[in-house]
Amino acid sequence: MTRRDVVRAALLSASLLLAGCASVQPWERDRLAKRIMEFELDERERALQRVVDKSQYEGMLGGGTTEGSGCGCN
Amino acid sequence: MRRFGLRSRRRKCGVGAILLVLVSISVAAAQDQIVAKTEVYHDSDNTTVVRPSFRIVRNVGPVELGAAYSVDAITTASIDVITQATATEFSDRRQEVTVSLDRSLFGATYGASYTHSTESDYRSNALAAHFSRDLFDRQTTLSGRVGYVRDNVFRILDPRFEEDLTGWGYMAGVSQVVSSTLIVQASYEGAYLSGFQQSPYRFVRFGRFDFHFDGSLPVFEGVTGTRREQHPEERLRHTLSTRAAWYLGHEMALHPGYQFYFDDWGIESHEISLQLLREFGSHVIGRIGYRYFRQGAADFYDGQYVLAPSRYKYVSADKRLGPIEAHLVGLRFEYGIDAPSADLVRLGVDAKIDWNFNRYLDYLFLDDRSALIGQFGFFVDL
């Protein structure tokens, strides 16, 4: 899969997603409001994971690039 | 995306425990929050990092003020240090301070932050601003961020050495409620970096050399030359990512995710993740997750540079720029109870343990590395 394929797939998926969205009324959102539906259970956990990832891989970005550098990577 | 979470629940600290235990404390007052936690990382390459951190959030009218502090205490005798640096073992301490300000205005949330971090040979100052706005009866959330960072790189025992690195980062994302059981999120994140981007210590060996240990000492045979690591001074990085939260029923939710990264150094990576979350009654949330990561090498990276040093413009001995395959398996539990008094909203504990395995596909000195990362802590919402 080439870089262009991935970008095309991402744009196509986003278009289909937005086009297919149904209107969800507020009283239908009780399951969406559950804590297990949160993408980040703990913001600090995510921040710490970024520090670990940054010290291991150059092929990741994930929100850390402009939030301070230096990682004792030697 | 946390649009639907209770505010008091968001204000929480998680900390973990494994054989190596982290300690964490979290105290929060209504709309306010104090968090303290510690994480421990230990890997098979003789590196241990202990990372305590604190975070305070205070609401003053419509403005939310935040401050965070963390310390990384690093002790390592890794293969990088043994083969590339000047010592057989070293310890270092990295400190980071962040202050932030958020406020809601005209239906959107705006925020800014400043981060300062220091090590014995590194100093970093970063500014960031972000916003998010709900649209279409909160079915869509747009978010964005822009940041600037300026780093100073030093070399221990060489007071004349100082280099700079500056960078701009930017992100745009959208979260969409697709149905009463599905939320999808997609984002683009980019960064432009300019300046010193290699190690101030690491050097590269040339030739078809062999490597082995004589006791604890590394021995190299057949090295035809050496040169300091040299990376390009500019770099443009991109990440496309998408993830979803899908409610399965029976108090379970599935979180799949995919991320594609590429940059103008020639690195491409794919990351696929899957997490299953479950509520056990009203007190316990469990999560089990897996992440697969595969990264290709930078154009100028080579496991062995066999030609003469002058034949290469850029050279690197950084295994993070080489091809890597990685697996991460993790477990997390959180136990929370409602407050026993009117002054408290909620209190509880959480614990996490991850096992991370990296395989280095073109790195002479190390084939693989496994790591345990643990957290343990407790929180109180007031």
What confidence tier does B213 reach under pLDDT thresholds 50, 70, 90? confident
CATH code of domain B7-381: 2.40.160.40
List the structure tokens of B111.
């925020």
CA closest to A57 among chain B residues: B320
Say whether pLDDT at A26 is over 90.
Answer: no
Confidence band for A13, pLDDT divided at 50, 70 and 90: low
Domain count, chain A: 1
Higher pLDDT, B21 or B273: B273
- Widest CA span in chain B: 74
Pair B304, A54: CB distance under 8 Å:
no
Distance of CA B141 to the CA centre of its chain: 24
Structure tokens at B300: 């100028």
> What HEC string does B278-309 produce?
EEECCCEEEEEEEEEEEECCCCCCCCCECCCH
Over residues B1-26, the mean pLDDT reads: 33
Of A21-35, B34-48, B71-85, the poorest mean pLDDT is in: A21-35
pLDDT category of residue B160 using cuts at 50, 70 and 90 = very high
CB contact at 8 A, B13 and B377? yes
Considering chain A, what is the average pLDDT of its residues?
71
More confident of the two residues A70 and B364: B364
* Confidence (pLDDT) at A46: 79
Q: What is the pLDDT of residues B90-101, one digit of tens each?
A: 888 999 999 999
Task: Confirm whether A23 is domain-assigned.
Answer: no
Chain B residues within 8 A of A67 when measuring between CB atoms: 98, 113, 115, 126, 128, 147, 149, 169
What residues make up the domain containing A40? 33-62
> According to the model, what pLDDT value does residue B250 have?
93
The pLDDT of residue B28: 38
- Domain for residue A54, yes or no? yes
What is residue B1's predicted lDDT score, i.e. its pLDDT?
33
B238–A59: do the CB atoms touch at under 8 Å? no
Residue A19 lies in a domain: no
Q: Between chains, do A59 and B279 touch, taking CB under 8 Å as contact?
A: no
Taking residues B207-216, report their average pLDDT: 86
Q: Are B18 and B48 in contact (CB under 8 A)?
A: no
Q: Which of B62, B85, B20, B65 is nearest to B317 (CA)?
A: B85
B340 pLDDT above the threshold of 70: no
- The reply to whether residue B253 touches residue A36, judged by beta carbons under 8 angstroms, is yes
Residue of A66, A71, A73 to mutate for B, most B C-beta atoms under 10 A: A66
pLDDT band at A19 (very low <50, low <70, confident <90, very high): low
Residue A41 lies in a domain: yes
| Separation in Å, CA of B104 to nearest CA in chain A | 19
Q: Residue B278 pLDDT > 90, yes or no?
A: yes
Q: What average pLDDT score do residues B132-155 get?
A: 91
What's the rounded mean pLDDT across residues B266-290?
95
| One-letter amino acid of B360 | Y
- Flag whether A51 is in a domain: yes
Instruction: Give domain status of residue A74, yes or no.
Output: no
pLDDT, average across residues B353-365: 95
Pick the most confident of B72-81, B217-226, B268-277: B268-277
Using DSSP's 3-state secondary structure scheme, residue A64 falls into: coil
Taking contacts as CB-CB distances below 8 angstroms, the residues of chain A near B262 are 3
Measured between beta carbons, which residues in chain A are less than 8 angstroms from residue B162? none
Cβ contact A57–B12 (<8 Å): no
Percent of chain B with pLDDT over 70: 88
Query: What pLDDT does B80 receive?
Result: 82
Tokens 């303290």 -> residue: B36
Q: Is A28 contained in some domain? A: no
Q: Is residue B20 scored above 60 in pLDDT? A: no
Assigned domain for A67 exists: no
CA atoms within 13 A on the CB side of B364: 22
Q: What is the ipTM of this complex?
A: 0.77
Share of residues in chain A with pLDDT > 70 (%)? 57
pTM beyond 0.95? no
Is 50 exceeded by the pLDDT of residue B327?
yes
pLDDT bin (cut points 50, 70, 90) of residue B124 is very high
Domain boundaries, chain B: 7-381
Q: Inform me whether the pLDDT recorded for B84 exceeds 50.
A: yes
- The overall average pLDDT reported for chain B is 86
Reported as a pLDDT band with limits 50, 70 and 90, residue B382 is low
pLDDT band at B54 (very low <50, low <70, confident <90, very high): confident
pLDDT score at B346: 67
